Structure 1
C-alpha cells in the first residue's frame, strides 16, 4: 500500500526543488535552443503558475489527448479568444502535463508580441517564435509539436456577442507548413476563454494611438484598474480532435485550392467541437 505524502513532506519537496532550480540558474546549468526556448525556466516557473490557473481557477477538463502524436512532429491548431490570449499559454501547460511524454508545445505568435521588449523575451523563453512559415517548418522539421491560432487578433479581439464563432483563418500558411513537413494537423477546441475577459466594447481611437489592435472594455476593465486584469473564473473544456494527415498532399503545398480546403476542414472540425463542448457546459461559471 502506498502511503500518501504528508503536508510537511510536500513542502519539503517544493523547497528542495526551488533550491535546486536556483542553483542551476546561478551556475548556468541550463540550455536554451536556437529559438530562445528555455525548458528549465518554463518547467520551473511558468508551468507551475499556469498549472494552478487551469486546475484551480478555470477547473479545466481535457479530452482527446490520445490524438496527439506520441513523438515526432505535429501541428496543433486551435480557436483563439478572450481579449487576452490566455488560451495559448493554458493550452501549452495542459499539453505538457497531459501528454504521456510531457512534450512542450512551441507556439507561433503574432509580430506584435515580438515588438514589445519584455513580452518578446518572455515569449521566446516560453518556447514561442514568430508566426511565419520558415520558423514553423524548422520546428516541425525538427520533430516538434507546434501550436498555431490562425484567427490571430481577429479571434482574440472579437466582441463577446460573437463568442465561439470562428473568424476567418487567413491564407492558410499553417497548412502549407504542415504539408511541406508531412506533419499531421490536430485541431483543438477551447471553451471557456471567451468568458475570462468578455469584450463589451473596443475604444478604437485609443487603440490606434497606442499602436494596439484593439483597446478592450470588459465588465472589470478599465473600471477596476489593475484588478480588472484578473480573469473571471469561467469553466474551461478543451478537446483535442482526431488528427488530419497531410502526407497525401505532399506535392500540393503551393496549391491554393488544396490549402484552402484543408484549412476549411480544420476550421469546421473546431467549430463542430465547440458546439459539442458548449452543449456539455450550460453554465459558463459552473463546476
Structure 2
C-alpha cells in the first residue's frame, strides 16, 4: 500500500470502506467476548463527546492497547479512532495495509495528523513508537519517548485536547530474559538493521508460560485520564509551551501507569483466576 495522500485519508477507496464496515461489525460482535474477559477500564467519561481529542498512550509488549483503546473509544463516543502508524505502514501493500487503513490507521506524519485535526477526528498516538514495544528486563511499564514532542507541537498548533491513556498488563504477558546493552541486544540489533534498516528495534529474549512463548493469562488495566488543554497562554513562547505540554502529558501518563500497577498488584483476579472473579477490582462508578 503506497503512502496515503490527503484525499485518500478523508475519502477512502470503496474497497477500504467495505473492509471498514466488516471490521466494525466484527468489533461489535466481539463485545460479549470482551465483556467476558473483563478488563479493568476507567475514565471513559473523560473523553470529550465531540470526538475532538488526541489520545496519547504507552506501548506494551503484548500490544493489547492497539485494539482496546479504539474499541472502547468507539463504544463510548461512537466514532472511529485514527491511530498514527509508523511510516513503514505506508509501504505495506495488499490486504494487511488495507486492513490497517480500514481500522482508521494513517501514516504518522505531521501533514496527515494535521488534516485529521482540521476535520475534528479522534486520534491515537504512541510517542515511543515501535521501539517502545520491545521491553528488555527492567524496562517494563516505562516510556521511551526520548526527545519526541511532535504530538505536543501538533496539539498546540490545532488547540487539540490531549487525553493520556495508560494500559498495564501487556508487559506481564511475557517476561524479558535479557538486559539492554548485552550481547543479545547487539545481535538482535544487527539482525533488525539487516532486515529493516532500523537500529532501534532490537528484541529481547522472552518467555510466556514456563519456557514457551504461550501468552501468560493476564488481566488488562486501562485508564483514560482527564483531558489536558493545549491552548497557549498569551506571551508564552511556542517552544516553551510545547515542552510544557509534552512534560504534563508524560507525567500524567506515568502517574496513571503507577496507579494501575498498584491496583493490579492488589487484584486477586489479575491472572484471570475465575475463582477470584467476585473479588476482582472494579472501576469507580
For residues 190 and 127 of structure 1, what CA distance do their matches in structure 2 show? 20
* Distance of aligned partners of 1:61 and 1:262 in 2 relative to their CA distance in 1, 3 Å threshold: same
Find the counterpart in structure 1 of residue 136 from structure 2.
Answer: 159
For residues 166 and 122 of structure 2, what CA distance do their matches in structure 1 show? 17
The answer to whether the aligner puts 1:270 opposite 2:249 as a matched pair is no
State the Cα distance separating 1:233 from its structure 2 match.
2.1
For residues 155 and 106 of structure 2, what CA distance do their matches in structure 1 show? 16
* Distance of aligned partners of 1:61 and 1:244 in 2 relative to their CA distance in 1, 3 Å threshold: same
State the Cα distance separating 1:168 from its structure 2 match.
2.1
Q: Deviations over 1:63-111 (max 9, x none)?
A: 11111010141101111121x53312221112222x1x32221100111
* Count of matched residue pairs: 245
* Distance of aligned partners of 1:33 and 1:194 in 2 relative to their CA distance in 1, 3 Å threshold: same
User: Is the Cα–Cα contact under 8 Å of residues 206 and 215 in structure 1 kept in the other structure?
Assistant: no
For residues 251 and 45 of structure 1, what CA distance do their matches in structure 2 show? 50
The answer to whether the aligner puts 1:34 opposite 2:11 as a matched pair is yes
Larger deviation: 268-277 or 197-206?
Answer: 197-206
State the Cα distance separating 1:56 from its structure 2 match.
3.9
Structure 2 residue corresponding to 1:219, chosen from 193, 207, 213: 207
Structure 2 residue corresponding to 1:183, chosen from 132, 155, 160: 160
The answer to whether the aligner puts 1:95 opposite 2:49 as a matched pair is no
Instruction: Please state whether the residue corresponding to 2:68 is helix, strand or coil.
Output: helix
For residues 209 and 269 of structure 1, what CA distance do their matches in structure 2 show? 37
State the Cα distance separating 1:193 from its structure 2 match.
1.3
TM-score by length of 2: 0.75
> Unpaired segments of 5 or more residues in structure 1?
1-31
State the Cα distance separating 1:238 from its structure 2 match.
0.7
Find the counterpart in structure 2 of residue 234 from structure 1.
Answer: 218
For residues 144 and 169 of structure 2, what CA distance do their matches in structure 1 show? 17
Instruction: Please state whether the residue corresponding to 1:159 is helix, strand or coil.
Output: coil
Find the counterpart in structure 2 of residue 45 from structure 1.
Answer: 26
The answer to whether the aligner puts 1:141 opposite 2:118 as a matched pair is yes
The answer to whether the aligner puts 1:285 opposite 2:285 as a matched pair is no
| RMSD between aligned residues | 2.8
* Distance of aligned partners of 1:53 and 1:215 in 2 relative to their CA distance in 1, 3 Å threshold: farther
The answer to whether the aligner puts 1:192 opposite 2:175 as a matched pair is no
* Distance of aligned partners of 1:220 and 1:207 in 2 relative to their CA distance in 1, 3 Å threshold: farther
User: Is the Cα–Cα contact under 8 Å of residues 191 and 278 in structure 1 kept in the other structure?
Assistant: yes
Q: Deviations over 1:145-170 (max 9, x none)?
A: 10011011231122142111222253
* Distance of aligned partners of 1:279 and 1:167 in 2 relative to their CA distance in 1, 3 Å threshold: same
Find the counterpart in structure 1 of residue 277 from structure 2.
Answer: none
**How do residues 55-74 of structure 1 correspond to structure 2 at under 5 angstroms?**
55-57=35-37, 59-74=38-53
State the Cα distance separating 1:266 from its structure 2 match.
0.2
For residues 44 and 199 of structure 1, what CA distance do their matches in structure 2 show? 36
Instruction: Please state whether the residue corresponding to 2:171 is helix, strand or coil.
Output: helix
User: Is the Cα–Cα contact under 8 Å of residues 35 and 127 in structure 1 kept in the other structure?
Assistant: no
User: Is the Cα–Cα contact under 8 Å of residues 42 and 126 in structure 1 kept in the other structure?
Assistant: yes
User: Is the Cα–Cα contact under 8 Å of residues 51 and 79 in structure 2 kept in the other structure?
Assistant: no
User: Is the Cα–Cα contact under 8 Å of residues 151 and 170 in structure 1 kept in the other structure?
Assistant: no
